[in-house]
A and B are shown apart, each in its own frame.
Chain A
Amino acid sequence: MKIVVVIPAYNEEKVVGEVVHAAIKEGFSVIVVDDGSTDRTGEIAREAGAKIYRHIINLGLGATLATGLMAARRYNPDIVVTMDADGQHRAQDIPLLIKPLENLRADFVVGSRFLGKSFRKRDESVPAIRWFYNLFGNLITYFLFGVKTTDSQSGLRALNSRALEKINIQSLEMEVSSEFFKEIKNNNLRLEEVPIKGIYTEYSMSKPDLGKTQNLLTGVKTLFNLFLHRFTK
């Protein structure tokens, strides 16, 4: 079973090496798509053993994931996993994540930080504001694309080769997380969720661009882009 891990990365030189290393240690091939980083993200990932694809300018998460999936197709994988570069996902969770694919129960698996957990019982590492942000994202995803999910914003996903072939990502930025669900629905893919633990380290919470990815304005922009996607194809 050939498994390729795709990691979109933008200015993550402090942690990307560790993340790549952990995934390779688990026996996976790793592709890092460097989204026009201004630091040494690409070099460090390459030194850690990843294959590197580099955007010459910064495009955004959606465009980076799309490049990653296209690059992954070159290696004819049975399964492709996407995970964040900032260390909030554990490579050790991947075997559990891909179980539903190996058992042929699903075509697409989402690693959910919220599955089976209420607001009160949420992981102590999940900040309250993130919980509500995610709930809102889930509702929007359901409202626009008709797919029920407990973690619409999760960056940990696994696709089998059928899903990899069918899914066509158009988003350029954060709205990509919800677009995956649109593609799941449009292509009649079988979705399953697997509970995972999100690790919000001091690093991932204190990133300089956190303000950029989590603020209200980005949320509104993401929402607008989602509407645009809903009614354009």
Chain B
Amino acid sequence: MILFKILFLFFVLLILIRLGKRFKKRQIKITNFLIWLFFWLIAGTIVIYPESTSYLARFLGVGRGADVIIYFSLAIIFYFIFYFTIRLHVIDSKIAKIVRNISLREGKDEN
């Protein structure tokens, strides 16, 4: 268990460093930076004090702390799949608009 904790914390640390670099280079917005910072800090805390999740589990009426984490993780993952699907759709539409504009412009000159 100790090994897992060390590895996971190392992993979190790496992500936080990357996150910090990106923010410094202004590749991500401050809101996104804060959300992810908060998310990974909580993940780190949970790994160090796994018992902390049992309070939450009891509060929510879910059996074990580990289960709460899995439910939340799944919810978050599904949310992101949904979010990216919509984003992709939006990006597709934007690309189509660009391509269409080019074709209408070129068509005007040629035809």
> Is residue B21 contacting chain A, with contact meaning CB distance below 8 A?
no
A residues lining the B interface (CB < 8 Å): 33, 51-57, 59, 63, 66-67, 70-71, 74, 170, 172, 228
- Residues on B with beta carbons closer than 8 Å to the beta carbon of A51: 107, 111
7 A-B pairs closest in CB distance: A53-B107, A51-B111, A63-B96, A53-B103, A67-B100, A55-B99, A59-B96
> Is A54 in contact with B106, judged by CB distance below 8 angstroms?
yes
Q: Is the interface of A mostly helix, strand, loop or mixed?
A: mixed
In the assembled complex, the Cα of A48 lies from the Cα of B93 at a distance in Å of 31
Query: How big is chain B's contact interface, by range?
Result: 10 to 19
- Residues on B with beta carbons closer than 8 Å to the beta carbon of A67: 100, 103-104
> Is A66 in contact with B93, judged by CB distance below 8 angstroms?
no
B1-50, CB < 8 A from A: none
CB distance from B10 to the nearest CB of A (A): 40
> Is A56 in contact with B102, judged by CB distance below 8 angstroms?
yes
- Residues on B with beta carbons closer than 8 Å to the beta carbon of A53: 103-104, 106-107, 111
> Is A57 in contact with B104, judged by CB distance below 8 angstroms?
no
Kindly list 19 other residue pairs between chains A and B, CB separation below 8 angstroms, not including A53-B111, A59-B100, A63-B100: A33-B103, A52-B111, A53-B103, A54-B103, A54-B107, A55-B99, A55-B100, A56-B99, A56-B103, A57-B99, A59-B95, A59-B99, A63-B96, A63-B99, A66-B96, A66-B100, A70-B104, A71-B104, A228-B89
* Smallest Cβ-Cβ distance to A75: which chain B residue: B111
CB distance from A220 to the nearest CB of B (A): 14
In the assembled complex, the Cα of A55 lies from the Cα of B108 at a distance in Å of 13
CB distance from B85 to the nearest CB of A (A): 9
Can you list 20 residue pairs at the A/B interface with Cβ under 8 Å? A51-B111, A52-B110, A52-B111, A53-B111, A54-B106, A55-B100, A55-B103, A57-B95, A59-B99, A59-B100, A63-B96, A66-B100, A67-B100, A67-B103, A67-B104, A70-B104, A74-B108, A172-B92, A172-B93, A172-B96
